[in-house]
Structure 1
């Protein structure tokens, strides 16, 4: 089993100490804070908006290059245990830590036997947000580490042909030789031991789906992960506190997961030149009114400071010469659209907001026979997928998802990624002062057709049926939410080939907004690898 990371570096240790110290003191600023005050305005040579995958890579490489950098994160720092001794709540007993400024949880499964399963909670700046846009809702992580805090840790590299199709202007040879390996190493990707998988209780549910897939003539493969599989094995042995086996996943993991605050962000803080400011909502970007002033500032950000109820407690301005947007597909796109359409950056191109897609996400479930038990104890970290991506008519990569309810349910659940050419777009609505996603339910039909072709085949081979009681109505394919929002500032279209925004020196996009709508696998390894590639070029050409 490849379970353990390399011995911890001094830099990472320093970063982890900084994170833990900030948490112990109840601070929302981590690191030395390189901003210099100039009257009412502060200045930093580089600012990174967000702390997700692309943002974390960018900050680390800026710090290594000797460039003082501030990271701004809308969510909080998740390092302080609550009264129960845990940082995060689990899925069976959610509390205010679970959701961002909601009074009720909003789970991907809305019901069981048509009884609602969401619970009332206290309004709080929790770790998971579900942002609603008509026919599509988008799940995003809120906190230092972004989506790495709330995802299923599935670290999949796309098939080479799919990557080349999505990014025709990027050197695929170089990506697969240099940047994907670099990303996997930085993220701490590891692989499950097949012998342990075949015998453990944690993945009984996955083995049932694997057996059914084999019976249908379908291929399965193991899914690499940034959850420590060695830790998971010890969880099953009850040698360590449980996390993946304690119904912890979408509301955060208290143990075992190599989220960004444990890897790239810790390394970035360890350079001594990066600081993170949490509970900071970047509301607007504009050109610096005094170009050529302190440090040659080019951009000014309006930043709201929030408390843990989401209330704005202060507003300040931060100037910078180099601005990197890593606020996620919708967050980054909203900032650019607002700047363009309000006249703050009027020369931004019409390609901003285009090319958005939900990565072909479809969720579905099958009812199993009584003899096919999926298990009461299920790992929240998926480790197996049905790989039918090479099917010429209906490409599907279907991850076997858990239902960690603590009791036997006889249900097989799947998150399918399909090839879907449909694209939505994002526009700025001046009345609400927010970005609005234009995506119609009909756009999801190619995804439903592909998923149905695969799961019809599974059901026919195993004499099983769909579950129609899990999504709040009687539908069997759920396409009204996505875990994988992609696009809005597509690489080589809305930006140059390295994420630079044309006509705006010092302005960059470094996150999932660069990915054109559909990738075929979970996107975070690709986002990380692209960020590694792009920032290497930007540091060499723009910051030297």
Structure 2
């Protein structure tokens, strides 16, 4: 560290605290860097999370309206993206599923010629699994049986499987000392199988990032500032950057501050990172950001459909949010998702499922069978009598996100990519129809589907890894082309649709990127940004690596 570095407030500013930012915070703090994490959302203790998703002020992230919840919804022309908000990012509201990417992911054209990604990512996937406490979901819930019978009727019973999840499966409701990190982690409570994972686990059984990476990062010296929105990032004359912040959602008393740092890590998720980088490029703060920004934004080729008002004598809330999956074909993974009792908000967003077609035709089709329409809607006991089906595909389709000015200021807008993102997925319609037959229920879809706008909980890409600036926004070490000292470490670097829940993949990519940072004050062995890629061994941190402690679950 030189004298200029000493004069800066921090060595590293991390923007965001999700699956990328939390890894960056811990691993860089372990390597001796002074780290601060700036999180736009609020900090929640488990007991403060919403009991149901009808507690809108703690469920939705609309800070200017007084809602400081854990779910952010971003409506674009071609997709409604749902993402996490708060200290812990998407881990607060994700469904716990931690799948490894399929083999096809490593061969995606965007990055296949850079290196042998199977070999490079393997140890980091294993490390991420240890850190996130991956285990196999317990079998035997009512929702399991519906999906099992659905798989049999669709001819893919041999692909039915219990999901890898990040939940502490201990004695239900019993609190025990940290079972993961040699006693330095927080106490944990065994999962009660209440199904409320997506609204936020109130018991501390869910392996959220505040339970592992962020907890350990703070022990290693990292600072976390919630309710802090980054507005500007500007280069300093002698190197490094100044980061301008304000209080999230404030109309007055915005408490604007400036922080200086040698490095800045963008980890605000695909939506947050793209929003910030587009604004910084278009306003001239960071004019050299790649013209590829926003290209190859992926939805995980995703669709969400429902069955509801089931007449099957079962309570679908039993279990963790996701416990099982199936594969109707080589490119598709289907999972049934449950919600906790009383979390009936999805019933307000659901409507009768109708065939694909133009929006007007789909809207008119709703009223051709009024009885079915009434049977396929409604919030009453939705969580107990309804299931969501998450359909993900590893196909090569994408959107392009750009920044456009409108009546209420500039915002992100979507256009179709070279291979258009689907507005309807036939296998998703078929899955919901068959599952409804199995459960004696009504197949449903979201209201946005009427307008050919699917929902995704896994928007990724847009700042993808590329061998050169002509093909990507960041290099294989996840350094931003054109701006030394800037890095992107979140789902926006993912180059392809994995076709499974991407949380583990994002964590592993972040682990790999951080493993090659030098310890503070030591030479950087990585070649300069823009140079040809060459494999390098990881650099061990000077501080203990707590993830080597055996998982005693």
Question: What TM-score comes out, normalization by structure 1 length?
Answer: 0.75
Match of residue 356, structure 1, among 275, 283, 297: 297
- Tell me what 1:5 maps to: none
Q: How does 1:68-217 map to 2 (within 5 A)?
A: 68-79=34-45, 86-91=47-52, 93-101=54-62, 123-165=66-108, 167-168=111-112, 169-175=114-120, 177-193=122-138, 197-198=139-140, 203-217=141-155
Matched, 1:284 2:225: no
Give the deviation of 1:153 after TM superposition. 0.8
2:478 to 485, 488, 499: 499
Alignment of 1:448-467 (within 5 A): 448-452=425-429, 467=443
In the TM superposition, what whole-angstrom CA distance separates every residue of 1:248-268 from its partner, at most 9, and x where no partner exists? 233311121110011011111
Secondary structure of the 1:97 match is helix
Whether the 8 Å CA contact 1:379–1:404 is kept in 2: the answer is: no
Distance 1:452 1:514, change over 3 A: same
Q: Which moved more, 1:138-147 or 1:87-96?
A: 87-96
Of the structure 1 ranges 373-382 and 213-222, higher mean CA displacement relative to structure 2 is found in 373-382
Query: Which of 404, 410, 414 is residue 429 of structure 1 equivalent to?
Result: 404
Q: CA shift at 1:538, angstroms?
A: 2.9
Which of 511, 516, 525 does residue 532 from structure 1 map onto? 511
Q: CA deviation at 1:43?
A: 2.1
Q: Provide the aligned C-alpha RMSD in A.
A: 3.3
Once residues 513 and 443 of structure 1 are traced to their aligned partners in structure 2, the CA distance between those partners, rounded to angstroms, is 18
Q: Which residue of 2 aligns with 1:416?
A: 391
Tell me how far apart the structure 2 counterparts of residues 91 and 221 of structure 1 sit (CA, whole Å): 28
1:374–1:412 Cα contact (<8 Å) kept: no
Measure the CA separation in 2 of the matches of 1:474 and 1:536: 42
Task: Supply the distance in 1 between the matched residues of 2:155 and 2:202 (Cα, whole angstroms).
Answer: 38
Q: CA deviation at 1:278?
A: 1.0
Give the 3-state SS of the residue equivalent to 2:389 in structure 1. Answer: strand
Change beyond 3 A, Cα 1:348–1:444: closer
Q: Residues of 1 paired with 2:273 and 2:75: CA distance?
A: 17
What is the Cα deviation at residue 241 of structure 1?
8.2
CA distance 1:457–1:348, shift in 2 (3 Å): same
For residue 397 of structure 1, report the CA deviation from its aligned partner: 0.3
* Structure 1 residue aligned with 2:363: none
Q: CA deviation at 1:479?
A: 4.8
User: 2:315 and 2:67 mapped to 1: Cα distance?
Assistant: 33
Q: Which moved more, 1:487-496 or 1:412-421?
A: 412-421
CA distance in 2, matches of 1:501, 1:436: 20
Partner deviation per Cα, 1:327-373 (whole Å, 9 max, x = no partner): 11011112222121111111222011111121111111346974x43
| TM-superposition CA deviations, 1:100-148 (whole Å, max 9, x none) | 1279xxxxxxxxxxxxxxxxxx723222221222342221211110000
Write the mapping of 1:142-541 to structure 2, written as runs, cut at 5 A.
Answer: 142-165=85-108, 167-168=111-112, 169-175=114-120, 177-193=122-138, 197-198=139-140, 203-218=141-156, 219-230=159-170, 245-246=193-194, 248-255=196-203, 256-272=205-221, 274-288=222-236, 290-291=237-238, 297-306=239-248, 313-366=254-307, 370=311, 372-375=312-315, 377-390=317-330, 395-405=331-341, 407=381, 410-429=385-404, 434-439=410-415, 443-445=420-422, 448-452=425-429, 467-468=443-444, 471-472=446-447, 479-492=453-466, 493-539=472-518
Q: How many residues align?
A: 457
Indicate if the aligned counterparts of 1:227 and 1:258 stay in contact, CA closer than 8 A.
Answer: yes
Q: Check conservation: 2:29, 2:35, Cα contact below 8 A.
A: yes
- Counterpart-to-counterpart distance in 1, 2:71 and 2:174: 27
Report the Cα offset of residue 425 of structure 1. Answer: 1.4
Q: Distance in 1 between matches of 2:309 and 2:69?
A: 35
Q: Check whether the contact 1:426–1:435 (CA below 8 A) recurs between aligned residues.
A: no
Work out whether residues 495 and 502 of structure 1, in 8 Å CA contact, stay in contact via their aligned partners in 2.
Answer: yes
Deviation readout 1:26-59 (Å, 9 max, x if unpaired): xxxxxxxxx9997xxx621111111111111111
Note the C-alpha offset of 1:230. Answer: 2.8
1:303 alignment partner, SS class: strand
Which digits, 9 at most, give the CA deviation of each residue in 1:58-94, with x for residues without a partner?
1111111111111110011112x8xxxx311122641
Q: Is the Cα contact below 8 Å between 1:499 and 1:510 reproduced in 2?
A: yes
Structure 1: state its 5+ residue gaps: 1-34, 104-121, 292-296
3-state DSSP of counterpart to 1:53 = coil
Secondary structure of 2:122's partner?
A: helix
* Aligned positions of 1:1-80 closer than 5 A: 43-79=9-45
